[in-house]
Amino acid sequence: MPDASDADLLDGQALSQAVRDEVKADIATWTDDHRPPFLSAVLVGDNAASKAYVRGKEKDAAEVGIETETHHLDADTSQDELLDLVHDLNDDASIDGILVQLPLPDHVDERTVIDAVSPSKDVDGFHPENLGRLMRGTPRYIPATPYGIMEMLSRSDIDPEGMDAVIVGRSNIVGKPLANLLLRRTANATVTVCHSRTKDLAAHTRRADLLVAAAGQAAFIDADMVKEHAVVIDVGINRVDAPSTDRGYRLVGDIDFETVRPKAHRITPVPGGVGLMTRAMLLRNTLKAARLRAESA
């Protein structure tokens, strides 16, 4: 039961609905004189979480008026076959955005595949050209998870200016692009990025006015590691065994929610937090892709 002194939730359901409503309205206007945006998703193998993510993306897209197709390839698809498909999608003028769901099977080099996606269709923002643009401060596609976190903050009137922001996790998908976004002159946070080799992680996290956990380890940040009144953003989505549930597992974040909530100022739940924002920002990027394609046609 939440206590009166508990942190207010940063409610990903409500905040992402607001984004979806905006994108839907923008697409309704766009389709007055253009065809609907089209997103092509590529899923390789049978990773259950990846399948669920792609299904979620298809559902969200349909809700706002984005058309989708999903290429579901066998786990043993060769890298060359996958690259051939990506090249076909790049060349297809009826496709605006391309998303290759990660992780890919071990025999496929993820970087080679990411590099093959046309930067103008790279709605994930993972291509080096798009990451370089972000780092330079002239972004085209912003990776959806960090983009969603920035959107959550701005829609909740949380201004990172002057905050000590500590990000736990240095991935190309979350930690590194988020550090760049928080450093921009529009955000003005002071950013520390911690990782698995950080000495005395807790000494860093305890200083954080804004703490972002993106390390992929269930509930490993507890109240002891969090500053009183901090804003706490949980990017983790970890499955832990729960034999008493229908699915046999439940989802928990990287933050030990129950102990941290009473100490925090604001906190995101899992599920129902950042993950929904990630999905919503992909929609915005896909509309952007349709606009870019129309401009360059």
Q: How far apart are CA 297 and CA 293, in angstroms?
A: 6
Residues 151 to 210 in contact with ligand GUN, rule: CB under 6 A: 173
Whose Cβ is closer to ligand GUN: residue 15's or residue 277's? Answer: 277
144 binds ligand GUN (CB under 6 A): yes
The one catalytic residue in 26, 60, 96, 124 is 124
150 binds ligand GUN (CB under 6 A): no
Q: State the nearest-atom distance from the C-beta of 265 to ligand GUN, in Å.
A: 27
Active site residue 13: no
Does 100 contact ligand GUN by CB under 6 A?
A: yes
Q: Is 57 a catalytic residue?
A: yes
121 has catalytic annotation: no
Q: In this chain, which stretch among 21-29, 77-85, 97-105, 266-274 interacts with ligand GUN, using CB under 6 A? A: 97-105
Nearest distance in Å: CB 102, ligand GUN = 4
Q: Which of 26, 60, 96, 124 binds ligand GUN (CB under 6 A)?
A: 124
Q: Binder to ligand GUN among 40, 101, 130, 268 (CB under 6 A)?
A: 101
Q: Which amino acids are annotated catalytic?
A: 57, 101, 124
Question: Interface with ligand GUN by CB under 6 A: which residues?
Answer: 99-102, 124, 144-145, 173, 278
